[in-house]
C-alpha cells in the first residue's frame, strides 16, 4: 500500500514540476499518464495471476512492485503445504502397506460397526469384498450368532473362537475386537485351523498311547499280583512257565510300542536330509531274515531284487519301513501263503519296493485309514501278533521323508500289496551285484 502511495506521490511530484515549467495542462497530463500506466500494469499482472491460478503448481509470474509482496508468500505457503501433503500421503501408504503385510487379518469398523477398511488376509478369512462390503455392518456380513453376541459386548478382554464352514471347508478363526480412536473398532483375525487340528491330534495321541500302555500293564500287574497271592508251591512248574510266558509277551508288546514311539519321534524331530546312497537290496535281505524267523517256515518267500539299484536316503529309516511292510505281510498271511518282495526300477525311472502277500486282505473302506496312528482293522489280531498300530504310520512317514509315496492295494480275502515308490531323482546305480539278484523262492 505504502509503495503504491509513494508511486502516486512520485507521479504527482513529476507532474507538478513539469507543470511549473511547461504549464499546468502538461503537468496534469503527465500525472494522468502516470496513473494510467499504473492501472495498465495492474491489469496486466491481474491477468497473469488469473492464468497462474489455473496452474498453481508452477511458480507465480514474475511481478514487480506490490504484486511480488503478495504472490511470493502465497507461493511459499502453497509449496510447503504440498510437501506436507506428500509426506502425509507417503506415511499413510507406508501404514497401509504394513497393515497389508501383517500375518494376521485386520479390519477397521465405524462406531456403528460398519466396515471401513480391511487387509487382504482379513478379506480371505471372512470372505469380504472391500468394494462391495465397505459401509455395510459387519454383523450382516458375518452372520454367526456367537459373533453377534461377541460384537455387542461392551468390552473385549478375550478373543472369540469361531468355527466356520463344514467338512473340508471347516475353518477355525480367532477374532479379537478392540476400540480405538473416536468410537471406531479394530478387529484382528487369525486362522487357527491348523493349530487346533494339531492340538486335537496331540490330545488323541496322548490318549491313545496311554490306552495302549494300560492294556499290557494291567495284564502284567494282574499276573504279578496273582502270583504274589498264591501260596508257595501252589502252581506246577508248567503253570508257572505258562504265566511267565504270558507276562513276557505283554512286556514285549510294551517294548515294541516304546520302540515305535521313539522311531516316530525321531522321524518328527530330525531334519529331512538327503542322506547317502543306500544299498536297499542289502537292507531287504536283513529284513527278510527277520521275517523268515517270524514266519517259522510257514510262508513261501519269493524275491526279485535289483542289487545294482541304490537310493539316496537314510539307511536306518529305510530299514524300519522295509521291515514293517515285510513283518506285516507275515503277520496277516495265514500259514501256507506266499510273500513276494520286489525291488526294481520301473520304465519311468522310479524305483519300487513292494511286498505282495496272499493274506487276509483289507476292506476297501479301511484302506485310507491304515496309515493313521493306532488304526487297526482287527485290534485283537494285531495285538496277538505283537502289533503296535504304528508300523504303517512309520512307513508312510519314512516314504514322505524320501520324496516317495506309499501305495496300498488289497482285496479282502485274497491278499494285499504295499509299495513304496521312490522318484527317479532319488535312485542311484551302484556296482554291487550279488549272486541271488534274480528271482528265487525260499
The binding site for ligand ADP (CB under 6 A) comprises 324, 328-329, 332, 357, 359-360, 362, 370, 375-378, 382, 387-393, 416
Closest CA to 376 of 243, 215, 220: 215
Minimal distance in Å, beta carbon 419 to ligand ADP? Answer: 12
Task: Give the residue with the Cβ less far from ligand ADP, 60 or 387.
Answer: 387
Minimal distance in Å, beta carbon 140 to ligand ADP? Answer: 50
Task: Give the residue with the Cβ less far from ligand ADP, 121 or 356.
Answer: 356
For the chain, what's the residue count?
442
Task: Give the residue with the Cβ less far from ligand ADP, 121 or 327.
Answer: 327
Task: Give the residue with the Cβ less far from ligand ADP, 13 or 259.
Answer: 259
Task: Give the residue with the Cβ less far from ligand ADP, 187 or 390.
Answer: 390
User: Residue 148 contacts by C-beta under 8 Å, 6 or more apart in sequence?
Assistant: 139
Minimal distance in Å, beta carbon 110 to ligand ADP? Answer: 56
Cell of 327: 513283518
Closest CA to 388 of 298, 293, 264: 264
Minimal distance in Å, beta carbon 259 to ligand ADP? Answer: 12
CA distances from residue 8 to 23, 25, 28, 30, 34 in whole angstroms, order as listed: 20, 18, 13, 12, 8
Distance CA 170, CA 105 (A): 18
Task: Give the residue with the Cβ less far from ligand ADP, 119 or 354.
Answer: 354
Closest CA to 104 of 179, 186, 206, 1: 186
Beta-bridge partners for 105? 189
Task: Give the residue with the Cβ less far from ligand ADP, 107 or 392.
Answer: 392
Burial of 245-259, coded b for 16+ CB within 10 Å and e otherwise, reads eebeebeebbebbee
Minimal distance in Å, beta carbon 383 to ligand ADP? Answer: 8
Closest CA to 128 of 107, 100, 99: 107
Minimal distance in Å, beta carbon 322 to ligand ADP? Answer: 13
Minimal distance in Å, beta carbon 272 to ligand ADP? Answer: 21
CA distances from residue 30 to 20, 24, 36, 41 in whole angstroms, order as listed: 12, 10, 10, 17
Amino acid at each position: 500500500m505504502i509503495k503504491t502511495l509513494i508511486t502516486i506521490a512520485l507521479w504527482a511530484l513529476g507532474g507538478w514540476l513539469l507543470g511549473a515549467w511547461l504549464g499546468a495542462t502538461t503537468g496534469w497530463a503527465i500525472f494522468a499518464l502516470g496513473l494510467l500506466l499504473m492501472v495498465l500494469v495492474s491489469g496486466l499482472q491481474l491477468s497473469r495471476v488469473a492464468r497462474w491460478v489455473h496452474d498453481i503448481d508452477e511458480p507465480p509470474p514474475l511481478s514487480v512492485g506490490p504484486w511480488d509482496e503478495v504472490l511470493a508468500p502465497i507461493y511459499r505457503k502453497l509449496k510447503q503445504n504440498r510437501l506436507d501433503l506428500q509426506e502425509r500421503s507417503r506415511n499413510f501408504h507406508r501404514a497401509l502397506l504394513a497393515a497389508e503385510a501383517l500375518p494376521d487379518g485386520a479390519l477397521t469398523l465405524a462406531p456403528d460397526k460398519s466396515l471401513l477398511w480391511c487387509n487382504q488376509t482379513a478379506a480371505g478369512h471372512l470372505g469380504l469384498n472391500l468394494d462391495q462390503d465397505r459401509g455395510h455392518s459387519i454383523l450382516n456380513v458375518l452372520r454367526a450368532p456367537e459373533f453377534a453376541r461377541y460384537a455387542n459386548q461392551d468390552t473385549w478382554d478375550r478373543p472369540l473362537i469361531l468355527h466356520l464352514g463344514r467338512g473340508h471347508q471347516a475353518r477355525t478363526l480367532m477374532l479379537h475386537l478392540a476400540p480405538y480412536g473416536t468410537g471406531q473398532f479394530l478387529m484382528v483375525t487369525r486362522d487357527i485351523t491348523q493349530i487346533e487340528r494339531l492340538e486335537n491330534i496331540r490330545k488323541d495321541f496322548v490318549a491313545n498311547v496311554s490306552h495302549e500302555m494300560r492294556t499290557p500293564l494291567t495284564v502284567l500287574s494282574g499276573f504279578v499280583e496273582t502270583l504274589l497271592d498264591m501260596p508257595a508251591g501252589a502252581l506246577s512248574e508248567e503253570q508257572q512257565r505258562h504265566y511267565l510266558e504270558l507276562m513276557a509277551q505283554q512286556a514285549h508288546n510294551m517294548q515294541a510300542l516304546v520302540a515305535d514311539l521313539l522311531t516316530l519321534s525321531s522321524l518328527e524331530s530330525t531334519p529331512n536330509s538327503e542322506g547317502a546312497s543306500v544299498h536297499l537290496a542289502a537292507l531287504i535281505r536283513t529284513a527278510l531274515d527277520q521275517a523268515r524267523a517270524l514266519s517259522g517256515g510257514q510262508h513261501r518267500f519269493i524275491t526279485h531284487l535289483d542289487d545294482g539299484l541304490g537310493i539316496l536316503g537314510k539307511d536306518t529309516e529305510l530299514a524300519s519301513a522295509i521291515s514293517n511292510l515285510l513283518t506285516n505281510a507275515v503277520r496277516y498271511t495265514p500259514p501256507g501263503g506266499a510273500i513276494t518282495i520286489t525291488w526294481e526300477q520301473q520304465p519311468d525311472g522310479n524305483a519300487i519296493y513292494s511286498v505282495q502277500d496272499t493274506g487276509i486282505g483289507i476292506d476297501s473302506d479301511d484302506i485310507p485309514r491304515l496309515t493313521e496312528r493306532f488304526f487297526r482293522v482287527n485290534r485283537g489280531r494285531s495285538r496277538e501278533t505283537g502289533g503296535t498300530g504304528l508300523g504303517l504310520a512309520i512307513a508312510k512317514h519314512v516314504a514322505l521323508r524320501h520324496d516317495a509315496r506309499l501305495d496300498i492295494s488289497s482285496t479282502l480275502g485274497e491278499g494285499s500289496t504295499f509299495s513304496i515308490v521312490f522318484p527317479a531323482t532319488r535312485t542311484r546305480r551302484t556296482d554291487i551285484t550279488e549272486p541271488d539278484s534274480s528271482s528265487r523262492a525260499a
